[in-house]
Amino acid sequence: MGFLSKLLGQSSRLIGRGIAAKRNRVTCAVYSVRGKNPETGRMKKVDVVVESTASVDDVQKRSGLLPPYEVERVDGSSYDGPTEKQLAYAKKVGINFPDDATSRDATIFLTRYEEERPLCQPATPDRFVRLLIDRGIVVPAYAGMLEVSNMYLNGVSLEERIAFFAMRVFCKLKGRRYCLLDDAPDAERELFYRFAEEYQKDKVFVRSVYCYSGEDLPLDSCTISKRLKAYDIAADYFRKMG
C-alpha cells in the first residue's frame, strides 16, 4: 500500500479533521407520558419513542393511554453528550466527536474504531430509521445501516425476528427482492409469521437464528450472507410447501 493510500485510510477513520460525519435526516426523541390505562382506568407511565418532529398530540396518541396526560421529554445519560470516559478514550485514539453527538453516538463511533470500520459512513435512509421508531427502538442520530440493522434484530420481538429471517430465506429460494416484511405481499408475510409461530419455541432453531447479525441480514438488502442450521430448517419448510 502506497503512502497516499495509507493516508486516505487513516483520515477516513477520523471525525472533525476535514471529514464530516453523516447525521441521519430522521431522528428520534423519547418522551415519558403519564395517562390513564384504558384497560384498568388507573394512571400509568410509559416511555414513547417518536420522530423528533412529532407533536405533543402525536406523542399522546402513541402512548396508548387516555387523558389527563403529563408529557415530558426524557433526558438522561444516554441522550446527553459523550461521557468523560468516552472523551478520554477518543482523545487518546485521535477521534473528535461531532458537537451534537450523544453518548449513544459516541459508542457507535468508538465501536467502529475498535472494529476497524470507517468512522464516517452514509446516513441511514429515512424508511429504515422510521421502521425502528415505529417499533419503539431508539435510534442514535449517527447510526449507520449496520448499526440500525443490528438494532432492529435485537429490538424487535423474537417472532418478528424469525419472520424477518424466514422472509430472507424465502427470497433466496424464490428469487424475491423484499428488504422488509412490509415489502412482501400479505399472503407471503402471513406465511413468514406462521413459520415464526411454529419455530419460536424450537431451541435448536432459535439458537441458530441468533447467530445471524445485521451484517448477515442488512435491512437495505434482500440477501442473507451465510447458511447455518436455521437456514436449512427454514429452507426445508418452504421447499415442502412448494
From first to last of its 242 residues, what are the pLDDT tens digits of the chain? 433 333 334 444 455 444 468 999 999 999 999 999 999 999 999 999 999 999 999 999 999 999 999 999 987 656 789 999 999 999 999 999 999 999 999 999 999 999 999 999 999 999 999 999 999 999 999 999 999 999 999 999 999 999 999 999 999 999 999 999 999 999 999 999 999 999 999 999 999 999 999 999 999 999 998 999 999 999 999 999 87
Q: Which of 51, 60, 57, 72 is nearest to 131 (CA)?
A: 51
Compute the distance between CA of residue 166 and CA of residue 232 in angstroms, rounded to an integer. Answer: 11
pLDDT given for residue 10 in this prediction: 43
pLDDT given for residue 78 in this prediction: 64
Compute the distance between CA of residue 81 and CA of residue 135 in angstroms, rounded to an integer. Answer: 25
Where do the H-state alpha helices sit in the chain?
3-11, 56-63, 84-93, 103-114, 126-134, 145-155, 158-174, 186-199, 203-209, 229-241
14-32 b/e with 16+ CB inside 10 Å = b? bbeeeeebebbebbbbbbb
| C-beta separation of 135 from 184 below 8 A | no
